[in-house]
Amino acid sequence: MSAFQKNDVLKNTIIALEKQSKKEKVQIWDRIAYELRAPTRQLRVVNVKKIAQLTEKDDSIIIPGKLLGTGVITHAVRVVCYQSSPSAVDKIKAAGGSVVNVLDELKKNPKGSKLRIIG
């Protein structure tokens, strides 16, 4: 996928987040859209190690950026993020958790309830 196509995906994600925020009158999607508008170099990057330190079993978190695989996690956690590395996804799943794309979460959880922003 070219950089142009990736930027189109990001733009469409931001637009969808802003529309949902207005429709449902919730701030979390507006905040995630704001964070994703930052230049690529300034997007939040969160490692598995940080998630392990900041979460407890069965927490649901959202990362307005990228999930990377440095570190170890031993408890199940649900992670929603814009991008993720394959090693991070493997580690989260091995601990019994799951990794979900922001747009998929937007459809499943339109109000963004029980999500905590990390990063």
Range of the domain at 50: 3-117
pLDDT recorded at residue 6:
60
Give how many domains the chain has, as a whole number: 1
pLDDT lower than 50: segments of the chain: 2-4
pLDDT recorded at residue 4:
41
C-alpha separations of 54 from 9, 17, 51, 77, 115 in Å: 29, 25, 5, 11, 13
CATH of the domain at 106: 3.100.10.10
pTM, full prediction: 0.90
pLDDT recorded at residue 5:
52
